[in-house]
Amino acid sequence: MNVDLSQLTEWRREFHRFPEIGWSEFWTTSRIADYLEQMGFEILLGKQIINEDFVRGRQSAVVEQGLANALAYGAKQKWLDKMDGYTGCVAVLDTGRAGKTVALRFDIDCVNVSETQNPQHIPNQLGFRSLNDGFMHACGHDAHITIGLGTALWLSQNKDKLSGKVKIVFQPAEEGVRGAAAIAASGVIDDADYFAGSHIGFCADSGTVISNPKNFLSTTKIDICYKGKPAHAGAAPHLGRNALLAAAHAVTQLHGIARHGEGMTRINVGVLKAGEGRNVIPAGAQIQLEVRGENKAINQYMADQVMQIAQGIAIGFDVDYETEIMGEAVDMNNDPELVKLVEEIALAQPEVHSTNADYAFNASEDATILGRRVQEHGGKAVYFILGADRTAGHHEAEFDFDEKQLLTGVKIYTTLVQRLLG
Amino acid sequence: MNVDLSQLTEWRREFHRFPEIGWSEFWTTSRIADYLEQMGFEILLGKQIINEDFVRGRQSAVVEQGLANALAYGAKQKWLDKMDGYTGCVAVLDTGRAGKTVALRFDIDCVNVSETQNPQHIPNQLGFRSLNDGFMHACGHDAHITIGLGTALWLSQNKDKLSGKVKIVFQPAEEGVRGAAAIAASGVIDDADYFAGSHIGFCADSGTVISNPKNFLSTTKIDICYKGKPAHAGAAPHLGRNALLAAAHAVTQLHGIARHGEGMTRINVGVLKAGEGRNVIPAGAQIQLEVRGENKAINQYMADQVMQIAQGIAIGFDVDYETEIMGEAVDMNNDPELVKLVEEIALAQPEVHSTNADYAFNASEDATILGRRVQEHGGKAVYFILGADRTAGHHEAEFDFDEKQLLTGVKIYTTLVQRLLG
Amino acid sequence: MNVDLSQLTEWRREFHRFPEIGWSEFWTTSRIADYLEQMGFEILLGKQIINEDFVRGRQSAVVEQGLANALAYGAKQKWLDKMDGYTGCVAVLDTGRAGKTVALRFDIDCVNVSETQNPQHIPNQLGFRSLNDGFMHACGHDAHITIGLGTALWLSQNKDKLSGKVKIVFQPAEEGVRGAAAIAASGVIDDADYFAGSHIGFCADSGTVISNPKNFLSTTKIDICYKGKPAHAGAAPHLGRNALLAAAHAVTQLHGIARHGEGMTRINVGVLKAGEGRNVIPAGAQIQLEVRGENKAINQYMADQVMQIAQGIAIGFDVDYETEIMGEAVDMNNDPELVKLVEEIALAQPEVHSTNADYAFNASEDATILGRRVQEHGGKAVYFILGADRTAGHHEAEFDFDEKQLLTGVKIYTTLVQRLLG
Amino acid sequence: MNVDLSQLTEWRREFHRFPEIGWSEFWTTSRIADYLEQMGFEILLGKQIINEDFVRGRQSAVVEQGLANALAYGAKQKWLDKMDGYTGCVAVLDTGRAGKTVALRFDIDCVNVSETQNPQHIPNQLGFRSLNDGFMHACGHDAHITIGLGTALWLSQNKDKLSGKVKIVFQPAEEGVRGAAAIAASGVIDDADYFAGSHIGFCADSGTVISNPKNFLSTTKIDICYKGKPAHAGAAPHLGRNALLAAAHAVTQLHGIARHGEGMTRINVGVLKAGEGRNVIPAGAQIQLEVRGENKAINQYMADQVMQIAQGIAIGFDVDYETEIMGEAVDMNNDPELVKLVEEIALAQPEVHSTNADYAFNASEDATILGRRVQEHGGKAVYFILGADRTAGHHEAEFDFDEKQLLTGVKIYTTLVQRLLG
- In degrees and rounded to multiples of 5, residue A14 shows phi and psi of -60, -50
Distance CA D358, CA B301 (A): 62
Taking only the tens place, the pLDDT of each residue in D59-106 is: 999 999 999 999 999 999 999 999 999 999 999 999 999 999 999 999
Touching partners of C (3+ C-beta pairs < 8 Å): A, B, D
Taking only the tens place, the pLDDT of each residue in D270-295 is: 999 999 889 899 999 999 999 999 99
CA distance A371 to chain B (A): 28
Which of A253, A230, D317 has its CA nearest to residue C257? Answer: D317
Q: By the 8 A CB rule, do B293 and B218 touch?
A: yes
What SS3 class is residue C156?
Answer: helix
What SS3 class is residue C149?
Answer: helix
DSSP annotation of C363 reads S
A189's enclosing H/E stretch is none
CA distance A356 to chain C (A): 22
Average pLDDT in chain B: 96
Question: What pLDDT, on the 0 to 100 scale, is given for residue B363?
Answer: 80
Question: What pLDDT, on the 0 to 100 scale, is given for residue D403?
Answer: 98
Please enumerate, as own/partner, the contacts of A50-53 that have beta carbons within 8 Å and a separation of 24 or more.
A50/A86, A50/A88, A50/A182, A50/A183, A50/A186, A51/A182, A51/A183, A51/A185, A51/A186, A51/A187, A52/A86, A52/A182, A53/A185
Distance CA D316, CA C412 (A): 50
Touching partners of A (3+ C-beta pairs < 8 Å): B, C, D
Q: Do the bridges between strand A354-356 and strand D194-200 make them parallel or antiparallel, or are there none, so unpaired?
A: unpaired
Which of D20, D212, D144 has its CA nearest to residue D401? Answer: D144
Residues composing chain C:
422
Domains by residue range for chain A, with CATH: 5-216+331-421 (3.40.630.10), 218-329 (3.30.70.360)
- Tell me whether residues A251 and C270 touch, CB distance under 8 A: no
Question: What pLDDT, on the 0 to 100 scale, is given for residue C134?
Answer: 92
Once rounded to an integer, what is the mean pLDDT over residues A172-185?
A: 96
DSSP annotation of C255 reads T
- Interface residues on B facing A, Cβ-Cβ cutoff 8 A: 232, 234-240, 242, 245, 249, 252-253, 256, 258-262, 281, 301, 308-309, 311-318
Q: Do the bridges between strand D284-293 and strand D265-274 make them parallel or antiparallel, or are there none, so unpaired?
A: antiparallel
Tell me how crowded residue A421 is: count the other CB atoms within 10 A of its CB.
Answer: 23
Least confident of A245-254, B225-234, B338-347: B225-234
Pairs across B and D, CB distance < 8 A: 131
Q: By the 8 A CB rule, do C212 and C334 touch?
A: yes
Question: Does D166 or D394 have the greater pLDDT score?
Answer: D166
- pLDDT at D147 > cutoff 90: yes
Q: Which residues of A touch B317 (CB under 8 A)?
A: 253, 308-309, 312
- Tell me whether residues A308 and B301 touch, CB distance under 8 A: no
Which residue among C234, C237, C316 sits closest to D312, beta carbon to beta carbon? C316
- Tell me whether residues A256 and D252 touch, CB distance under 8 A: yes
b/e per residue, D38-76, with b = 16+ CB within 10 A? ebebebbbbeebbeeebbbbbeeebbeebbebbeebebb
Q: Tell me the angle at which helices D336-347 and D405-421 cross, rounded to the nearest 10 degrees.
A: 130
Residue of chain D whose alpha carbon sits nearest to that of B223: D278
Pairs across C and D, CB distance < 8 A: 83
- Interface residues on D facing B, Cβ-Cβ cutoff 8 A: 217, 219, 221, 233-235, 237, 244-245, 247-249, 251-252, 255, 266, 268-282, 285, 288-290, 292, 326, 362-364
The angle subtended at Cα C78 by Cα C75 and Cα C81, nearest 5°, is 100
Which of D129, D137, D128, D114 has its CA nearest to residue D22? Answer: D137
Gyration radius of chain C over CA positions? 23
Which of C305, C421, C408, C397 has its CA nearest to residue C351? Answer: C408
Taking only the tens place, the pLDDT of each residue in D17-41 is: 999 999 999 999 999 999 999 999 9
Question: What pLDDT, on the 0 to 100 scale, is given for residue D238?
Answer: 95
Burial of C328 from C-beta contacts in 10 A (0-12 / 13-18 / 19+): buried
Average pLDDT in chain D: 96
CA distance D303 to chain B (A): 15
DSSP annotation of A213 reads E
Question: Does D395 or A269 have the greater pLDDT score?
Answer: A269
Question: What pLDDT, on the 0 to 100 scale, is given for residue C422?
Answer: 87
Q: Which residues of C touch B253 (CB under 8 A)?
A: 252
- Tell me whether residues D268 and B289 touch, CB distance under 8 A: no
Average pLDDT in chain C: 96
Distance from first CA to last CA of chain D, Å, rounded? 23
Residue of chain B whose alpha carbon sits nearest to that of D235: B362
- Tell me whether residues A278 and C272 touch, CB distance under 8 A: no
Distance CA B328, CA B336 (A): 25
DSSP annotation of C125 reads H
Tell me how crowded residue B146 is: count the other CB atoms within 10 A of its CB.
Answer: 28
Q: Do the bridges between strand C101-107 and strand C165-171 make them parallel or antiparallel, or are there none, so unpaired?
A: parallel
Question: What pLDDT, on the 0 to 100 scale, is given for residue D234?
Answer: 87
User: What's the pLDDT band for B99 if we cut at 50, 70, 90?
Assistant: very high
Q: Which residues of B touch C266 (CB under 8 A)?
A: 259
The angle subtended at Cα A281 by Cα A277 and Cα A286, nearest 5°, is 75
Once rounded to an integer, what is the mean pLDDT over residues C252-257?
A: 98
Question: What pLDDT, on the 0 to 100 scale, is given for residue A162?
Answer: 96
Q: Which residues of C touch A271 (CB under 8 A)?
A: 244, 274-278, 282
- pLDDT at B362 > cutoff 80: no
- pLDDT at B71 > cutoff 90: yes
Distance CA A402, CA A406 (A): 8
- Interface residues on C facing A, Cβ-Cβ cutoff 8 A: 217, 219, 221, 233-235, 237, 244-245, 247-249, 251-252, 255, 266, 268-282, 285, 288-290, 292, 326, 362-363
* Separate counts of helices (H) and strands (E) for chain A: 12, 14
Distance CA C184, CA C55 (A): 10
The angle subtended at Cα C298 by Cα C297 and Cα C301, nearest 5°, is 90
pTM of the model: 0.88
- Interface residues on A facing B, Cβ-Cβ cutoff 8 A: 232, 234-240, 242, 245, 249, 252-253, 256, 258-262, 281, 301, 308-309, 311-318
Gyration radius of chain A over CA positions? 23
Which of D230, D238, D245 has its CA nearest to residue D280? Answer: D230
Average pLDDT in chain A: 96
Taking only the tens place, the pLDDT of each residue in A310-331 is: 999 999 999 999 999 999 999 9
Question: What pLDDT, on the 0 to 100 scale, is given for residue D290?
Answer: 97
Distance CA B87, CA B179 (A): 9
What SS3 class is residue A323?
Answer: strand
What SS3 class is residue C388?
Answer: coil
Residue of chain B whose alpha carbon sits nearest to that of D219: B234
Which residue among B252, B265, B266 sits closest to C256, beta carbon to beta carbon? B252
User: What's the pLDDT band for A203 if we cut at 50, 70, 90?
Assistant: confident
Residue of chain B whose alpha carbon sits nearest to that of A313: B312
- pLDDT at C173 > cutoff 80: yes
Q: Which residues are within 8 A (CB) of B36 and not within 5 positions of it... i.e. 6 or more apart? A: B43, B89, B91, B149, B152
What SS3 class is residue A193?
Answer: coil
- pLDDT at B349 > cutoff 90: yes
Distance CA B318, CA B324 (A): 19
Which of C71, C63, C56 has its CA nearest to residue C18? Answer: C71
- pLDDT at D352 > cutoff 80: yes
Distance CA D5, CA D153 (A): 13
C18's enclosing H/E stretch is none
- pLDDT at C13 > cutoff 80: yes
> Could you give the dihedral angle defined by the CA atoms of residues C294, C300, C303 and C305, in that order, rounded to the nearest 10 degrees?
-100
Q: Which residues of A touch C270 (CB under 8 A)?
A: 233, 244, 275-282
C286's enclosing H/E stretch is strand C284-293
Tell me how crowded residue D13 is: count the other CB atoms within 10 A of its CB.
Answer: 18
Helix/strand/coil (H/E/C) assignment for every residue in chain D: CCCCHHHHHHHHHHHHHCCCECCCCHHHHHHHHHHHHHHCCEEEEHHHCCCHHHCCCCCHHHHHHHHHHHHHCCCCHHHHHHHCCCCCEEEEEECCCCCCEEEEEEECCEECCCCCCCCCCHHHHCCCCCCCCCCECCCCHHHHHHHHHHHHHHHHHHHHHCCCEEEEEEECCCCCCCCHHHHHHHCCCCCCCEEEEEEECCCCCCCEEECCEEEECEEEEEEEEEECECCECCCCHHHCECHHHHHHHHHHHHCCCCCECCECEEEEEEEEEECCCCCECCCEEEEEEEEEECCHHHHHHHHHHHHHHHHHHHHHHCCEEEEEEEEEECCCCCCHHHHHHHHHHHHCCCCCCEEECCEEEEECCCHHHHHHHHHHCCCEEEEEEECCCECCCCCCCCCCECCCHHHHHHHHHHHHHHHHHC
- pLDDT at C131 > cutoff 90: yes
Tell me how crowded residue C395 is: count the other CB atoms within 10 A of its CB.
Answer: 14
